[in-house]
Each structure stands twice: as C-alpha cells, then as structure tokens.
Amino acid sequence: MSFSQRPVIEAVRLTKVYRTGFRMRRIQALVDLNLNVEKGEIFGFLGPNGAGKTTAIKVFVGLVTPDSGTAYVLGRSPKDHRVKRRIGFLPESPYFYDYLTAEEFLLLSAQLSGIPRNEIKPRVKEMLKMVRMDYAAHLQMRGFSRGMLQRIGIAQALLYDPDVVILDEPMGGLDPVGRKEFRDIIISLKERGKTVFFSTHILADVEIICDRVGIIIAGRMVKSGRLDEILTAEVESIEVTIKGATGKFRKALERVSLRVIESGDLIMLTVKNEDDVERVLAIAREASARVTAIVPRTKTLEDYFMSQLKTAGVQ
C-alpha cells in the first residue's frame, strides 16, 4: 500500500440516517460505507433504487453532512472551497432555472465557479459545442427535453475543467447516440488525467468504461474492486448445441448435462466443464449427430449484481 498519494475520493465509515414524516421515521441511507477512488480512475457506483448512491454523492459534494464517518475529496473536507473549485458535479435528473437560457445558465455557473472573467464566454461556447447544444444556446430551458437538460448538466459539470468529476446517473435520458458521445467524453477526461466517479443502474455502461466498480446495496458497500477481479474470467459453464440426436443417445446426453433445452431436433445442453464437453462430443459422434455450436459462458456483471442482490435479500 502506498502512502505517497491519498485517494481522490475517500469515504471512511459514512453513516447517514434520514428522518422523515410526522413521526420522524428513521431511514438508514448509508451504513458504514467505505470507498476509495484513486487518481485517474473511472469508478462506477452501482446499486438498485434507494441503495444510497445519491446520498453518498451528496456527501462527496458537500450537500449532505454525514451523521458519522468522514469523507475526503482531494484529501480535504468536501465543504472546503478549495475542493469545490476542483469538482464538477452533475446531480440526478438535474433541474435548472427554467427562466434562463442555456447560455445564461452556463454564464452564471461560470461566474459562481470563479472562472476568470475574460475566459468565461469562450469557455461557455466551447462547452455548449461539446455537448452539441450550441443550437439551443439562446432558448429558455423551460422547453428542454430530459436529454437536452442532461446535456446542459454535463456541460455545467465540466465548465471549470475540474480534476474530479462526480456524476449522478449521467446517462439518464440520453439516447443511444448521446450515450456513446458521453462515454467518449468520459474516456477523454481519463486520458487527461481526471478522476471520474459516476453512479448508474446500467451495467453495460459500467462494463465498457469503468476501471473499478463499487456495489452498494441498502446503504452498504458490498463489493468494490477491478471489474476483472469481480468477474473472474473463469468459465462458469459451456453450452453445446446438437442437431439430430435421438433415443438412447439423448438419454446419455441428459445424464452428463446440467440443463437441457429442446427445440425441434435441436438440443441445447449446458455442461459444467471441458471434460463434460468431451463426453458430449463423444456421444454425439457415436449418434452421428451434428454439433452446431459450443459457447463458453463467463460471468457477467449482471449475473454478479443479481447474485449480490439475492444474498442481500433485496428483490
């Protein structure tokens, strides 16, 4: 373990309880949450609805004070202005001043971030272009669609050229082209040495771009690590599809398989390992049936996510 560099985002046993309603019912949103995000990483924060992702993110941007535990961003308190100046934040389904035009809003954001006055205008123009919203610069945001708002949200988060980018469900409301563009933006941020932390429920997004992921369920971090560690590339099972096996051969095949699915004269067998594949192939040769496909199944993030959800008793 190296002490030369502290993580960019660090959560130590964060706990947060909300009290709501007339009877002050307790809702435990975060339970002893630990988390480290290293410099230059793209970190995916995964969890089902109500898991506490947004709450944790609000702690990291200084909007919520934890009941206990500490959060550090860039080694300091998230409420420190020197830190806030270096964070770009996109809230969950962001709302904007709908009476402002897109450009007015970005100008305001830039002024509040302390961008030098002469750099503000060109920077805003550049951001609008980056998220392909320059055509709507002078329209009031009250007429914007969800995806358009999301784009403006991304623009305002990256306005100051932040070192740390914290995004709460950034892909929400984006169309497939928008998602692709967004992924490209994230990757280019990483290439420039920035640290990106984002929450999502969409596993595919995480699998494509994240270096590491953390899985939060019911306020607890149940697992975090490199994707290839969580999803050991080990083959879980192998599917073999065979055409034209009948009678006793079929019986023999069923005996070596974990699962059998039949459709017409096709049978799809799921077997445990390569030895079993060899057995299946031997039987097939004997039956002079044709093997049409052999597909190894590795564990996907989705499988992992589901199994974690099951063990946590959430469903």
Partner 1 sequence: MFNRLFSLAVNTFKESIRDRVLVALVVIAVVVMASAKIVQPVAMGEAEKIIKDLGLSAITLFCVLIAILVGGRLVYREVEKRTIYLILARPVRRLEFILGKYLGLMMVLVVSLVVMTAGFYGVMLISRVPVSLYLIWSVVMTLFELAILTAVAVLFSTFVSPIASAVFTFMIYFIGHSTPLLKQLAGMFPSPVIKFFALFAYYILPNLNNFNIKGEVVHNIPLNFPGLLLSAGYAVVYSATLLMISVVIFNRRDF
Q: Which residues in this chain contact partner 1 in the complex, by CB under 8 A?
A: 58, 61-65, 81, 84-85, 87, 89, 91, 94-97, 99-100, 104, 108-109, 111-114, 156
52 binds, among ligand ATP, Mg ion, partner 1, none (CB under 5 to 8 A by kind): ligand ATP
* Closest CB to partner 1 among residues 199, 257: 199
* Closest CB to partner 1 among residues 97, 285: 97
Cβ contacts of 108 within 8 Å, gap of 6 or more: 97, 100
Cβ contacts of 228 within 8 Å, gap of 6 or more: none
156 binds, among Mg ion, ligand ATP, partner 1, none (CB under 5 to 8 A by kind): partner 1
Nearest distance from C-beta of residue 41 to partner 1, angstroms: 21
The beta strands (E) that lie in the chain are given as 9-20, 25-37, 42-46, 68-73, 87-90, 164-168, 195-200, 212-217, 220-226, 235-243, 259-263, 266-271, 290-298
47 binds, among ligand ATP, partner 1, Mg ion, none (CB under 5 to 8 A by kind): ligand ATP
172 binds, among ligand ATP, Mg ion, partner 1, none (CB under 5 to 8 A by kind): none
Interatomic CA distance for residues 95 and 92, integer angstroms: 9
Strand 235-243 and strand 212-217: the pairing is unpaired
Nearest distance from C-beta of residue 14 to ligand ATP, angstroms: 12
Q: Please classify residue 122 by burial: count the beta carbons closer than 10 Å to its beta carbon, then call 0-12 exposed, 13-18 middle and 19+ buried.
A: exposed
* Closest CB to ligand ATP among residues 50, 244: 50
61 binds, among ligand ATP, partner 1, Mg ion, none (CB under 5 to 8 A by kind): partner 1
Tell me the two tokens of residue 213. Answer: 């992921």
Instruction: Name the helix (H) or strand (E) containing 304.
Output: helix 301-311
* Closest CB to partner 1 among residues 93, 292: 93
Tell me the two tokens of residue 291. Answer: 């093997």
* Closest CB to partner 1 among residues 53, 84: 84
Nearest distance from C-beta of residue 185 to partner 1, angstroms: 19
29 binds, among Mg ion, ligand ATP, partner 1, none (CB under 5 to 8 A by kind): ligand ATP
**Contact in structure between 58 and 90 (CB atoms under 8 Å):** no
When CB distances to ligand ATP are compared, the closest residue is 54
Nearest distance from C-beta of residue 73 to ligand ATP, angstroms: 18
Nearest distance from C-beta of residue 85 to partner 1, angstroms: 5
Q: Which residue is it, tokens 């706990």?
A: 15
* Closest CB to Mg ion among residues 2, 49: 49
DSSP-derived letter for residue 63 is S
Q: Which residues bind ligand ATP (CB under 6 A)?
A: 18, 20, 27, 29, 47, 49-55, 92
Encode burial over 89-110: b for 16+ CB neighbours within 10 A, e otherwise. bbbbebebeeeebbbbbbbbbb
Interatomic CA distance for residues 109 and 131, integer angstroms: 16
Q: Which residues bind Mg ion (CB under 5 A)?
A: 53-54, 92
